[in-house]
Amino acid sequence: MSRGGGRARRLRQLELRVARLEEEVQWLRRAVEANGESLGTLAVGPCPKCESGVLVRHDDDLHCTVCGYTRYL
């Protein structure tokens, strides 16, 4: 097989992988939102302090799931 054919096949494999990962991320977002609704919380985004935790809103406070960063609204 020519070198260009191998690259084209690899590119297609990567495109399919990205599409699957995008679908999985969308599903995970919906799951997190649904779980948060049932618990009365809302995932807001990444923590501004540690950048690895999720900032979660519950009532009038924001709390990081990793470092404990807390702010009140």
- Do 65 and 54 touch, CB atoms closer than 8 A? yes
- Contact, 69 vs 58, CB < 8 A? no
Percent of the chain with pLDDT over 70: 96
Identity of the residue numbered 27: W
Give me 9's structure tokens: 């096949």
Three-state secondary structure call for residue 48: coil
pLDDT tens-place values along the chain, 73 residues long: 466 789 999 999 999 999 999 999 998 888 888 788 778 888 888 999 998 898 999 889 999 999 999 999 8
The upper half-sphere exposure of residue 42, i.e. CA atoms within 13 Å in the direction of its Cβ, equals 6
* Domain boundary assignment for the chain: 1-39, 41-73
d(CA 27, CA 73): 29
